[in-house]
């Protein structure tokens, strides 16, 4: 069975749509050794657009190395992951290995998950001193910069996804990153992030990256284009669509690309073998998709304080006036101060969007709350 929609992974080819302008900007920044900041809400397809651009650069012999900073354990781990991403058959691999050795970084070859050889930094267990990881990363980036600056050297681009989490890995890590980028003129840097509030602080007049990057705001795909693409993918897979099914998917899932694709996938799975998708089927597919994650949502819900549960219940029920007496009575919300604290905590954990008007970030969690926790 060929499922026409993919979720939870980078998508390319027929599973990727639109974003021509963004992909071109990212590719050009990589080729020109630029400093590009790609930022927007989560699940908009930033990582897939960056991968599209990276594939074009790699086809021309360039090297693109990516690290998800949000999942790194320390600064040294960022350097380790950069080196691990170097392809074994890369033209300049041997030169890179020699340069790493000269920089007092031991390199060894290990098989990856598919059994193919890959490069790894092989070091004694690092001390807990954060400065050790700092120095390690500096040397790794210095070596990569020297490779890119060499005569006839390749384009080398570093992609740091969720780059704003560098502040979690090291005190003043944002200023360290700025210094590393400034000291590496032969490298291209594409930094991507989704925590708008944190990023805006980093870009502010007092922030480490004030007027430092070329910005690329990554907003929603045009809803009309996305609706049409969804219907064409469904119909190309044998699911006839009632007029407006694609629009209904976008309406219920919101403006995040991955959320819409997930709902479209649920419609496909629900209607497979039944031949036709009507507007009413989109709502039932939303419920089915929310219940697929029941165990995870239930555990998440059980860990939340009652004040935060009350705010989420109110928003899932469509309440627009959290601080009003009716909402406070119905959803067990006490004082306005308690509500403000709950909203702030939910935004800090990314369960609510960081906007003036609070909203639940995940439409499937919102639907689960509506079905399970709103009386």
- Supply the pLDDT for residue 375: 67
- Please report which confidence band the pLDDT of residue 18 belongs to, taking 50, 70 and 90 as the band edges: confident
Per residue in 156-200, pLDDT tens?
Answer: 999 999 999 998 888 899 999 999 999 999 999 999 998 888 888
Confidence class of residue 122 from pLDDT cuts 50, 70 and 90? Answer: low
Provide the CATH number for the domain formed by 223-292 in this structure.
1.10.8
Q: Is the pLDDT of residue 294 over 80?
A: yes
Question: Per residue in 315-327, pLDDT tens?
Answer: 999 998 888 888 8
Measured CA to CA, the distance from residue 8 to residue 292 in angstroms comes to 14
Backbone angle region of 18, left / alpha / beta, with phi > 0 → left and psi within -120 to 50 → alpha: left
pTM for this predicted structure: 0.84
Average pLDDT over residues 303-310: 95
Inter-residue contact 360 to 312 (CB < 8 Å) = yes
Confidence (pLDDT) at 128? 46
Q: Where are the alpha helices (DSSP H) in the chain?
A: 20-31, 46-59, 75-84, 93-102, 130-149, 166-169, 173-182, 196-203, 223-236, 245-253, 257-271, 279-292, 294-303, 306-316, 325-330, 336-348, 363-372
Of the pLDDT bands very low, low, confident and very high (cuts 50, 70, 90), residue 125 is very low
Strands (E), the chain: 35-39, 63-68, 107-111, 117-121, 156-161, 187-193, 214-217, 240-241, 276-277
Q: Are strands 117-121 and 107-111 parallel, antiparallel or unpaired?
A: antiparallel
What architecture is domain 294-372? Answer: Orthogonal Bundle (1.10)
Averaged pLDDT score across all residues of the chain: 89
The residue ranges of every structural domain in the chain are: 19-217, 223-292, 294-372
Pairing of strands 107-111, 187-193: unpaired
Residue 240 has pLDDT above 70, yes or no: yes
- Dihedral, 139, 140, 145, 148 alpha carbons, nearest 10: 140
pLDDT band at 23 (very low <50, low <70, confident <90, very high): very high
For residue 285, give both structure tokens. 């597919």
List the beta bridge partners of residue 159: 66, 190
Question: Is the confidence at residue 130, as pLDDT, over 70?
Answer: no
Fold type of domain 19-217: Rossmann fold (3.40.50)
* pLDDT bracket for residue 312 (50, 70, 90): very high
Phi and psi angles of residue 43, each rounded to the nearest 5 degrees, phi first:
65, 25
Q: Find the mean pLDDT for residues 225-243.
A: 93
Cα dist. 166→65, 188, 252, 339 in Å? Answer: 17, 18, 34, 30
pLDDT range class, residue 131, cuts 50, 70, 90: low
Q: Are 172 and 133 in contact (CB under 8 A)?
A: no
DSSP 8-state code for residue 4: S
Q: Which ranges of 67-218 would DSSP assign to H, the alpha helix?
A: 75-84, 93-102, 130-149, 166-169, 173-182, 196-203
Q: Are strands 187-193 and 156-161 parallel, antiparallel or unpaired?
A: parallel
């Amino acid at each position: 069975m060929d499922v026409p929609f993919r979720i939870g992974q980078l998508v390319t080819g027929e599973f990727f749509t639109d974003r021509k302008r963004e992909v071109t900007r990212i590719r050009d920044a990589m080729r020109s050794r630029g400093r590009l900041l790609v930022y927007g809400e989560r699940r908009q397809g930033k990582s897939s657009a960056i991968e599209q651009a990276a594939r074009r650069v790699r086809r021309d012999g360039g090297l693109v190395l990516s690290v998800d900073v949000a999942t790194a354990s320390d600064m040294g781990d960022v350097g380790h992951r950069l080196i691990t991403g170097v392809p074994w058959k890369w033209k300049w691999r041997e030169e890179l290995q020699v340069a790493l050795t000269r920089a007092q970084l031991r390199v060894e070859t290990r098989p990856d998950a598919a059994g193919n050889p890959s490069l790894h930094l092989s070091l004694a267990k690092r001390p807990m001193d954060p400065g050790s990881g700092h120095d390690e990363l500096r040397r790794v980036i210095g070596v990569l910069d020297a490779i890119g600056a060499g005569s006839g050297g390749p384009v080398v681009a570093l992609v740091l996804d969720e780059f704003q989490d560098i502040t979690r890995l090291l005190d003043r890590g944002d200023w360290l990153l700025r210094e590393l980028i400034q000291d590496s003129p032969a490298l291209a840097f594409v930094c991507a992030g989704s925590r708008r509030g944190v990023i805006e602080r980093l870009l502010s007049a007092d922030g480490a990256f004030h007027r430092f990057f070329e910005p690329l705001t990554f907003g929603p795909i045009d809803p009309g284009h996305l609706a049409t693409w969804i219907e064409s993918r469904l119909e190309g897979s044998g699911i006839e669509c009632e007029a407006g099914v694609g629009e209904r998917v976008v309406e219920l899932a919101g403006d995040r690309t991955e959320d819409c694709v997930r709902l479209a996938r649920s419609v496909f799975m629900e209607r497979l073998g039944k031949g036709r998708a009507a507007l009413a089927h989109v709502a039932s597919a939303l419920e089915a998709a929310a219940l697929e994650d029941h165990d995870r949502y239930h555990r998440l819900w059980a860990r939340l304080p009652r004040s935060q549960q009350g705010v989420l219940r109110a928003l899932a029920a469509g309440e627009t006036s959290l601080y009003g007496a009716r909402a406070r009575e119905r959803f067990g919300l006490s004082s306005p101060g308690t509500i403000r604290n709950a909203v702030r905590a939910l935004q800090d954990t990314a369960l609510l969007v960081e906007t003036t008007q609070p909203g639940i970030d995940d439409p499937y969690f919102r639907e689960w709350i509506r079905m399970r926790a709103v009386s």
